[in-house]
């Protein structure tokens, strides 16, 4: 009992975002996605700093020196920044802080020598890059140190052109030999420790005196944490999703009813002490909120689990009454939490469960102005409501707690593409009506859509079950851009769902012709191969995808299902377990693995998986159908009858369920019921 046939054709947005562009561009986009999700290039590995143990190896002393930052480091440059005879370090990072200066304050200033080389400009370049400098005490010429003048020290980094030698204080008179890149060798004797020398090729050494002006250090600007502004402010605003909630009288209401005045949507729960304190402050200042022409919608989340399912309902109305809260209020519905999470994911590239309390400030146009995750003060809300009336240019400083200059004016960003991506995210997560509303804003009637916009519309039409319309939109997108990989695989997936392999296969093959590593196309071609009985070919394609994208859960699911259909159960278990780890909430992998365990007669493991799906996704009848088979295998025939009857109730009749009921009754000796 396998679910290969129920593994849906892979569309471009599922888990991975491949495109039928050259592999470099595709990989670069995936790299940017990982960066935006907060992943680290260095894996948060601390910076090491090694000390030479005089030929006995090296010791990491970064912790002792205070240089063991867990930054995403890029490069280190050395320079005697304060001219005190020792090297200071400049460290550059990918993320904040972008640069660090580590001052080396060695107590002795005469235990080093610094040399700057200048080539003659004919046989040697003027910067003397490539020159090799050897220095040794005159009394012990065998104790040598060697340095080579280099132009770079790492990613976009160059150290000081002064060549620095640490001496340890043992010798005062030095011998210096310079091997110039042109082949000449120059030797100078009698140089003093603790000095700086300029050596011009063939002209000897000249001591350089450094006069360090007496200036005070520039104070580091401090941020006043007590008065720091709260929340994430937006100047390029996006529409707040339509939340349908239950009013106190039991009728359904919508947040779109507030368009025309600002509203703060506050998500709270009666068990949350911070929420109650926050609402208490709102209640004390509600007249001030009303005077600003705004209101607050207190949206109660009691009775909703973290995955949006309804649980035991608590009464939040009495708490609002006790607190004296007299503004708008309502009871959140399960889908409200999902929409809020999608909104935050779109803005931050991170999909996390909502924290409670969370508040959203919406302007009079119904567009999101700010998000406050955690408790927000009424002082901040009043300040932000006043800011809503200011020109957009005056709102820009609110975007960051620090002063500075913007590399690009955030007001110049084109919102058209962003809204299309925003709409696609809602469509992909099961909210096609919201996606359609957003696309109407992007493409009002009469506007000629481009291929990207047509693709977004096709995705939404697919989510709404309008397959014919979706095909036309994909085809129009491909007419404009014949090599648009996402449209190729999207249209191919529709044909594949209809088992029209002759039409689907050329589309996937075209996507592969543009990008040979196109994961979505490979998975769907593997499904066609498997349907035609070419299992080895399907296996080769899926293994190729997994090798390229080890964290692609859909590929693991399809590969596990294929192994199961071939009777290779241990290999199937490995892939399906990995698919579950990558996407624990996705039921298909758990259902398929449960079926594999059932065929292996590992009834307990199978039963646990089926029960987990039945609990988290009670609308999926396959879990009860599988449970019936497991209970039969365990000899629990009454439980099997119950499970099969559940399927019959859900499906309005099922041949497999009726057969299972009959078998179970016969096993119980109840031939009449069978």
DSSP string, 224-277: -GGGPPPSEE-SS--BPPP-EEE-TTS-EEEGGGGTTS-EEEEEE-TT-HHHHH
Q: What is the pLDDT of residue 391?
A: 85
Q: What is the pLDDT of residue 43?
A: 63
Q: What is the pLDDT of residue 59?
A: 95
Longest Cα pair distance anywhere in the chain, in angstroms?
Answer: 115
> Domain limits of the chain?
112-207, 229-400
Q: What is the DSSP string of 130-188?
A: T-EEEEEETT-TTS-EEEE--S-SBTTB---SSEEEE-TTS-SEEEEEEE-TTS-EEEE
Q: What is the pLDDT of residue 4?
A: 32
- The span from the CA of 545 to the CA of 288, in Å, is 59
Give SS3 for 85: coil
Other beta carbons less than 10 A from residue 123's beta carbon: 13
Q: Which pLDDT tens digit goes with each residue over 95-146?
A: 778 899 999 988 877 789 999 999 999 999 999 999 999 999 988 888 899 9
Q: What is the pLDDT of residue 15?
A: 42
Residues of the chain with pLDDT under 70: 1-26, 29, 36-37, 41-43, 169-170, 212-229, 305-315, 402, 412-414, 445-448, 674
Query: 363 phi and psi, to 5 degrees?
Result: -80, 180
Answer positive or negative: Cα dihedral of 315, 317, 321, 325.
positive
pTM of the full predicted structure? 0.58
* CATH 3.40.30.10 describes domain 229-400: yes
Quote the Cα angle for 102-108-113, to 5°. 85
Tell me the average pLDDT of the chain: 85
What angle separates helix 587-599 from helix 553-565, to the nearest 10 degrees?
20
Other beta carbons less than 10 A from residue 155's beta carbon: 10
Host H or E run for residue 487: helix 485-497
Q: What is the pLDDT of residue 349?
A: 78
Contacts of 43 (CB under 8 A, 6+ apart): none
- The span from the CA of 230 to the CA of 232, in Å, is 7
- The span from the CA of 193 to the CA of 111, in Å, is 6
Q: Which pLDDT tens digit goes with each residue over 443-491?
A: 776 666 788 888 888 888 888 888 999 999 999 999 999 988 889 999 9
Class at the top of the CATH hierarchy for domain 112-207: mainly beta
Nearest by Cα to 267 from 342, 335, 329: 329
Host H or E run for residue 478: helix 467-480
- The span from the CA of 422 to the CA of 430, in Å, is 13
Q: What is the CA radius of gyration of the chain?
A: 34
Q: What is the pLDDT of residue 468?
A: 92
């Amino acid at each position: 009992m396998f679910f290969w046939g129920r593994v849906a054709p892979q569309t471009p947005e599922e888990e991975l975002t491949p495109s039928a562009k050259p592999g470099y561009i595709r990989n670069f986009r995936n790299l940017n996605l990982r960066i935006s999700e907060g992943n680290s290039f260095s894996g948060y590995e601390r910076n090491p700093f090694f000390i030479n143990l005089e030929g006995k190896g090296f010791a990491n002393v970064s912790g002792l020196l205070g240089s063991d930052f867990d930054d995403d480091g890029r490069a280190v440059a050395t320079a005697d920044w304060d001219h005190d005879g020792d090297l200071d370090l400049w460290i550059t990072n990918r993320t904040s802080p972008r640069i660090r200066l580590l001052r080396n304050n060695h107590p002795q200033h005469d235990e080093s020598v610094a040399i700057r080389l200048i080539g003659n400009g004919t046989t040697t370049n003027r910067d003397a890059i490539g020159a090799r400098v050897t220095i040794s005490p005159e009394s012990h010429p065998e104790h040598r140190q060697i340095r080579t003048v280099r132009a770079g020290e790492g990613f976009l980094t160059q150290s000081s052109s002064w060549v620095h030698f640490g001496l340890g204080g043992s010798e005062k008179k030095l011998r210096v030999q310079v091997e110039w890149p042109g082949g000449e060798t120059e030797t100078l004797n009698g140089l003093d420790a603790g000095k700086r020398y300029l050596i011009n090729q063939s002209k000897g050494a000249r001591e350089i005196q450094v006069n360090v002006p007496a200036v005070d250090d520039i104070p580091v600007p401090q941020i006043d944490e007590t008065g720091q502004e709260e929340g994430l402010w937006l100047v390029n605003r996006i529409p707040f999703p339509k939340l349908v909630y239950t009013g106190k009288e039991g009728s359904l209401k919508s947040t779109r009813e507030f368009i025309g005045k600002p509203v703060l949507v506050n998500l709270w729960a009666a068990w949350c002490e911070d929420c109650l304190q926050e609402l208490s402050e709102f209640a004390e200042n509600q007249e001030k909120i009303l005077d600003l022409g705004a209101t607050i919608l207190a949206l109660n989340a009691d009775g909703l689990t973290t995955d949006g399912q309804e649980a035991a309902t608590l009464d939040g109305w009495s708490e609002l009454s006790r607190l004296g809260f007299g503004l708008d209020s309502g009871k959140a519905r399960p889908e409200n939490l999902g929409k809020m999470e999608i909104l935050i994911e779109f803005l931050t590239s991170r999909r996390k469960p909502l924290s409670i309390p969370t508040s959203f400030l919406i302007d009079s146009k119904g567009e999101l102005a700010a998000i406050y995750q955690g408790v927000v003060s009424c002082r901040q809300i009043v300040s932000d409501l006043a800011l809503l009336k200011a020109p957009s240019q005056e709102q820009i400083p609110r975007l960051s707690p620090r002063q500075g200059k913007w590399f690009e004016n955030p007001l110049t960003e084109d919102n058209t593409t962003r809204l299309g991506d925003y709409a696609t995210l809602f469509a992909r997560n099961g909210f096609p009506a919201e996606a359609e509303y957003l696309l109407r804003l992007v493409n009002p009637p009469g506007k000629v859509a481009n291929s990207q916009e047509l693709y977004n519309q096709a995705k939404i039409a697919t989510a709404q079950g309008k397959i014919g319309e979706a095909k036309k939109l994909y085809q129009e997108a491909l007419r404009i851009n014949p090599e648009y990989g996402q449209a190729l695989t999207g249209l191919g997936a529709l044909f594949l769902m209809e088992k029209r392999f002759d039409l689907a296969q050329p589309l996937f093959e075209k996507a592969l012709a543009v990008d040979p590593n196109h994961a979505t196309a490979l998975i769907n071609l593997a499904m066609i191969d498997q349907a035609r009985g070419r299992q080895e070919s399907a296996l080769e394609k899926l293994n190729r995808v997994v090798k390229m994208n080890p964290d692609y859960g859909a590929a693991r699911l399809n590969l596990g299902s294929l192994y199961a259909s071939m009777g290779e159960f241990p290999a199937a278990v490995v892939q399906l377990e990995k698919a579950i780890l990558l996407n624990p909430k996705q039921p298909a992998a758990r259902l398929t693995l449960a079926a594999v365990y059932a065929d292996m007669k590992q009834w307990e493991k199978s039963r646990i998986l089926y029960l987990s799906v039945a609990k988290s996704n009670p609308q999926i009848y396959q879990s009860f159908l599988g449970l019936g088979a497991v209970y039969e295998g365990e000899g629990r025939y009454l439980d099997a009858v119950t499970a099969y009857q559940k399927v019959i109730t859900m499906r309005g009749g099922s041949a497999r369920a009726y057969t299972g009921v009959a078998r179970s009754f016969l096993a119980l000796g109840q031939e009449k019921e069978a």
